[in-house]
Structure 1
Amino acid sequence: MKIAVLGTGGGGRAHAAKLLELGHEVIVGTRDPRATLARTEPDMMGNPPYKEWLADHPGITLATFAEAAAAGELIINGTDGINSVKALTSAGAENLAGKTLVDYAVPFIYNPDVEHPWPTPWGIMPRLEPVDVDSLGEQIQRAFPDAKVVKAFVTQEQDTVVNPRAIGDGDHTMFIAGDHADAKKAVTALLESYGWSDILDLGTLVAARGMEMYAHMHSAIGLALGGHFGVKIVR
């Protein structure tokens, strides 16, 4: 399958590498490929320059958001949440129409000016916006009504999403939500190819609100444990 991964950060790299390993044709989208390849410094998360990573993964194509979205049969949104709608607009509504769009972005506002900050080793905990009465997943679906948005991957670090057996031999739960049954079936199949066996469908895309708000709880647990972990739903 031709799969477009929008975004060149650590999460996007994890998915692109795994998809290539699984035999998919991978097209990575970025705002400006020349600028992306020209960078010589690590990104904000400490990932090495993309040019170096790309050289280690021959077979992955780097293109604009629009070129990647047009080529992809399935699209993964790995862009920064606050910029996701803008990035997907650059990808072109016509290139998203009718396609499964997997969204794992968290709508974080970094370095927020808040009355009661939550200090962490990497700075003040980001603020979620939207929250409670809306979600980024729903905003994306409203902005691109002809796309089939599925919220997934969001309750786990992306290097674990593509390798669930790294924790508890894979015995933990992945959540999905969306309004299109065929798109959720496609995402479930992708997750199974990654190695997931416990995939819980939370229903319509409104459940993305809870999935995105869980990000703070996930951070709290991660800070307490000092490392990656999984969540298992016991029925």
Structure 2
Amino acid sequence: MKITVLGTGGGGRAHAARLLQLGHEVVVGTRDSEVTLGRTEPNFMGIEPFGQWVADYPGIELMNFGDAAAGAEFVINGIDGANAVRVLSGIAEHLAGKTVMDYAVPYVYNPERAHPWPTPWGVMPALDPVDHDSLGEQIQRALPAAKVVKAGVTQEQETVVNPQSVGGGDHTMFIAGEDAGAKEQVTELLRAYGWQDVLDLGPIVSSRGMEMYAHMHSAIQFALGGARFGMKVIR
């Protein structure tokens, strides 16, 4: 299958590499492919330039967002939460009728807070929207002709694409969305990644709980000294 991953950060790279390993045709989307490939310094999170990384994965193609989405059969959105709706709205015609698996968190970095939450890497980002809305819902409203499925937002993407790396894979992945067929597609991909326990939380409004969990996930990870972990729903 021809799968496009939108976003060149660590999460997008994790998906792209795993998809290539699984035999898919992989395209990564970015705002300006020439600029992305021309970077020579790590980004603000210390991640190596995309051009250096992709050299180890022949077969992965880099295109501008619209071109990458146009030829896709299935799309994974990893565009940062602050820009996702704007970027996706601009390429909506290329996403019509397609399943869009969205794992973006609506983080607002370096927020001004009376009582900031200090973390090992700075102030904890704020969530916006939160409680009354979600990024998953905003993306679905912006893409009425696409089928958005929220998934993977409760884990680091390195764990999403390799669940066996934590507890032998015995933990739970959550999905939410309006289209049953799209959720089946996403579940099939998650099974290929290695997930055994995929829990459907229902409509896209459940994205609110999934996204708000991000702060709890961070708190647990801090307590574990940064170690990866999973969450298991015991029935």
**Shorter-chain TM-score category?**
over 0.9
Q: Which amino acid aligns with 1:164?
A: P
Which residue of structure 1 aligns with residue 155 of structure 2? 156
TM-score by length of 2: 0.99
Q: Which amino acid aligns with 1:95?
A: H
Residues 129-144 of structure 1 aligned to structure 2 (within 5 Å): 129-144=128-143
Structure 2 counterpart of 1:216: 215
Which residue number corresponds to residue 22 of structure 1? 22
Counterpart AA for 1:159: E
SS in structure 2 at match of 1:80? coil
Question: Structure 1: which 5+ runs fail to align?
Answer: none
1:2-42 deviation line (CA, Å, top 9, x unaligned): 00000000000000000000000001000000000011111
Q: SS of the counterpart of 1:89?
A: helix
**C-alpha distance after superposition, 1:151-184 (max 9, x if no partner):** 0000000000000000000000000000000000
Point out where structure 2 has 5 or more consecutive residues left out of the alignment.
none
Supply the distance in 2 between the matched residues of 1:44 and 1:175 (Cα, whole angstroms).
Answer: 29
Report the secondary structure of 1:106's partner residue. Answer: coil
Cα distance in 2 for residues equivalent to 1:197 and 1:166: 13
- Counterparts of 1:44 and 1:152 in 2: how far apart (Å)? 25
Partner Cα distance (1:220, 1:143) in 2: 31
1:201 is matched with which residue? 200
Q: SS where residue 82 of structure 1 aligns?
A: coil
Size of the aligned set, in residue pairs, is: 234
After TM superposition, the structure 1 = structure 2 runs for residues 1-235 of structure 1, keeping only pairs within 5 Å, are 1-90=1-90, 92-226=91-225, 227-235=227-235
Contact 2:4 2:26 (C-alpha < 8 Å) held by counterparts? yes
- Letter aligned with residue 217 of structure 1: M
Distance 1:41 1:138 in 2: 35
| TM-score (structure 1 length as normaliser) | 0.99
* SS of residue paired to 1:58: coil
SS in structure 2 of the partner of residue 75 of structure 1: strand
Distance 1:115 1:132 in 2: 20
Identity of aligned residues (%): 68
CA contact (8 A) 2:17 2:57 kept: yes
Q: What code does the residue aligned with 1:112 have? A: P
Shift of 1:56: 0.5
> Secondary structure of the equivalent of 1:186?
helix
Aligned-partner Cα distance in 1 for 2:185–2:74: 9
Opposite residue 29 of structure 2, the aligned amino acid is G
Mapped contact 2:88–2:142 kept (Cα < 8 A): no
Shift of 1:89: 2.5
